[in-house]
Structures are given as structure tokens and as C-alpha cells.
């Protein structure tokens, strides 16, 4: 059997005011998974590269494996054997949806080798099961944009209801990943379980503005709305140099800037690539003054999500 290779992209979840409900896809970085139909029934991970030996080869404990196991279970397929090779090409624990990129690439690749029994959106429940292994909850705000591309709103989980949002063609993202590692669980534990109603109103007013700005192609409104007055003030304390990097991005012309997912990566949205390059450079320099090295990524908003290579 011939192998299928799939690339799935990094994603920025939360997007400032859209905590646990909004995410978008980048062009790069991302992960590649090769899938081939061979061997005895079940899912085997034959190779993992780029993870520094940190990810488990056991399929049921690895997000890529879990996604494919869920896909086979949905087909009630107990006879097929699928072997996966996982090539991590992005940092783990970065807040850029590393586990989502792996599970989405694996699910799309396995779906291809099986003759595409599911359309793209129908793979979402399988990769959500993988997220449950990775971060304890079946969140969709990374996996949905990694799978479908663009900006995706997760309006509801029961029933699952995702909405692909239009966005301006020239919207770009600057992302820096400071060389520190946060675990999603830690970043989640710093959050309060209750909030004041007036804080919630401020947050959802900004989210409403962001959704309107994206769908109407209003860059200034996107910028005014890219505010997280609820989560960022708490989580940013875990990221040395965050305030300086954010200010540097805004000074360099970014529309807005906040924490990517649960951090430590920081993203900025810009109008056009040139501003994104400037914002990324400015954030890297700001973090250097805190003795923090970082990786930088500049990308348009990836409109299609995972791709078969």
C-alpha cells in the first residue's frame, strides 16, 4: 500500500476575547503524519520524529493514535491495520495547538487511506477525542481550525456546532514562541472558576465586536475588539516579557495582540504581511531584553486547514 502524507497546521485558539470558542489556522508551523494501510488490525505508531522522545508510541496514549482509533471505531472497523509515522515540526506545549496538529494530520491521513469514508467536517469528533487525551477536555478551538482552516467559531458542543467565519484576505498573524514551556493544565489552573458579571459583559462585547469585524472585513473594529480583559491579565503573569512584547507589536502596527491558546506563545494580527514581519521582529527583540529566546512565525490566515501532500 502507498502511504498518504498530510500536513496539519498550528492554530491560535481563544484569539483574545474568544476564550474556549474561537480559533484560527496558520500556514506554518505544523505537523506531518504519514499513514499506510498495512499489518494486523489496529493502529500502530511506527515512528515519531521531532519530539525529543517525549511523545508515547502507544496509539491509545498519543493524540494521533487516538484520533485514528476513534475514526476506526466509528466505522466499526475491527479488521483494518493502520501504521502512522508522526513528524513533529512545531514545539510542544507552545500554545499553538501542537497536539491538535498531530491528531488532525493523522485523522485526515487515515481517512484518505481508507478511501475517504468521512468528509472533512465529520472528522471533528475524532480529533476532539484526541484533545481529551492531550488536555483533559474535548475542546475544539484548536482542532476545528486545524481541520477546516480559517477562523472557526465553536458555538456549541452539545450538539456540536462549528461556524466558519469569513475574514479579510489581507489579515496576517505574527506569532512568537518564547522558549519557556507552560502546560495547558497549569495555565488553566490559574483561572478563576467564577467571574464577575460585568467582566463577562466586557469580554463578550469585545467578542461580538471581533466577530462583526471579521465578517464585515473591518480591520479597525477587529483591532479595537482584540482585547482580553479576563484571561490575559492572569495568564500573562506566567509569561515573562509579555507586556513588553505586546506593546512592541502594537507599536509596530499590529491591530491587536494577546496570548495564543494557553500560552506561552504570543500572537498579533496585522493588516498585510509587512506589518506582521515588523510585529514579529519587534516581539522577538522585546523578549530578548528579558533574556528570552523565541521562535517567530509569520503567516497569512490559512484558509483551508490540513492538506494532503
Q: Which residues bind its own copies (CB under 8 A)?
A: 17-22, 153-156, 161, 163, 165-166, 191-197, 200-201, 203-209, 211-212, 215-216, 221, 224-225
80 as an active site residue: the answer is no
Q: What's the closest the beta carbon of residue 72 comes to its own copies, in angstroms? A: 31
Q: Nearer to its own copies by C-beta: 75 or 191?
A: 191
CA distance 247 to 249: 5
Sheet holding 266-271, edge to edge: 256-259, 266-271, 171-178, 294-300
Q: Nearer to its own copies by C-beta: 75 or 220?
A: 220
Q: Nearer to its own copies by C-beta: 19 or 297?
A: 19
Q: What's the closest the beta carbon of residue 205 comes to its own copies, in angstroms? A: 4
Q: What's the closest the beta carbon of residue 117 comes to its own copies, in angstroms? A: 27
Helix (H, G, I), strand (E, B) or coil at 178: strand
Q: Nearer to its own copies by C-beta: 119 or 198?
A: 198
Q: Write down the residue that cell numbers 500556514 correspond to.
A: 27
CA distance 82 to 251: 50
Q: Pick the catalytic residue from 80, 184, 232, 270.
A: 184
63 as an active site residue: the answer is no
Lookup: cell for 35: 499513514
Q: Pick the catalytic residue from 34, 83, 131, 232.
A: 131
Question: Which candidate, 254, 208, 212, places its Cα nearest to that of 21?
Answer: 208
Cβ neighbourhood burial of 57 (10 Å; 0-12, 13-18, 19+)? middle
The neighbouring-strand residues paired with 217 are none
Give the orientation angle of helix 98-113 with respect to helix 124-135, to 10 degrees.
140
H or E element, residue 98: helix 98-113
Q: What's the closest the beta carbon of residue 196 comes to its own copies, in angstroms? A: 6
Q: Nearer to its own copies by C-beta: 19 or 126?
A: 19
Q: What's the closest the beta carbon of residue 227 comes to its own copies, in angstroms? A: 9
Whether the Cβ atoms of residue 82 and residue 36 lie closer than 8 Å to each other:
yes
Would you name the residues annotated as active-site residues? 131, 184
Amino acid at each position: 500500500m502507498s502511504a498518504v502524507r498530510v500536513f496539519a497546521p498550528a492554530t491560535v485558539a481563544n484569539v483574545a476575547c474568544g476564550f474556549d470558542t474561537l480559533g484560527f489556522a496558520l500556514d506554518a508551523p505544523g505537523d506531518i503524519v504519514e499513514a499506510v494501510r498495512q499489518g494486523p488490525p489496529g493502529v500502530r505508531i511506527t515512528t515519531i520524529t521531532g519530539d525529543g522522545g517525549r511523545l508515547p508510541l502507544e496509539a491509545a496514549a498519543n493524540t494521533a493514535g487516538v484520533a485514528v482509533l476513534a475514526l476506526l471505531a466509528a466505522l466499526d472497523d475491527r479488521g483494518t491495520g493502520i501504521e502512522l509515522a508522526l513528524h513533529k515540526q512545531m514545539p510542544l506545549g507552545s500554545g499553538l495547538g501542537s497536539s491538535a496538529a498531530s491528531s488532525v494530520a493523522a485523522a485526515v491521513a487515515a481517512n484518505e487511506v481508507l478511501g475517504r469514508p468521512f468528509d472533512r467536517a465529520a472528522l471533528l469528533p475524532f480529533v476532539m477525542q484526541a484533545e481529551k487525551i492531550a488536555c483533559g477536555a474535548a475542546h475544539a478551538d484548536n482542532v476545528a481550525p486545524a481541520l477546516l482552516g480559517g477562523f472557526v467559531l465553536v458555538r456549541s458542543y452539545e450538539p456540536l456546532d462549528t461556524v466558519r467565519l469569513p475574514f479579510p484576505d489581507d489579515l496576517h498573524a505574527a506569532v512568537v514562541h518564547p522558549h519557556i514551556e507552560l502546560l495547558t493544565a497549569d495555565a488553566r489552573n490559574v483561572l478563576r472558576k467564577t467571574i464577575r458579571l460585568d467582566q463577562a459583559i466586557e469580554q463578550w462585547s469585545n467578542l461580538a465586536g471581533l466577530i462583526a469585524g471579521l465578517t464585515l472585513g473591518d480591520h479597525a473594529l477587529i483591532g479595537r475588539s482584540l482585547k482580553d480583559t479576563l484571561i490575559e491579565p492572569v495568564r500573562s503573569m506566567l509569561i515573562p516579557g509579555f507586556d513588553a512584547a505586546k506593546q512592541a507589536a502594537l507599536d509596530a502596527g499590529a491591530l491587536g495582540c494577546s496570548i495564543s491558546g494557553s500560552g506561552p506563545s504570543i500572537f498579533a494580527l496585522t493588516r498585510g504581511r509587512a506589518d506582521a514581519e515588523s510585529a514579529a521582529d519587534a516581539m522577538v527583540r522585546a523578549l530578548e531584553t528579558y533574556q528570552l529566546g523565541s521562535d517567530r512565525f509569520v503567516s497569512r490566515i490559512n484558509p483551508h486547514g490540513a492538506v494532503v501532500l
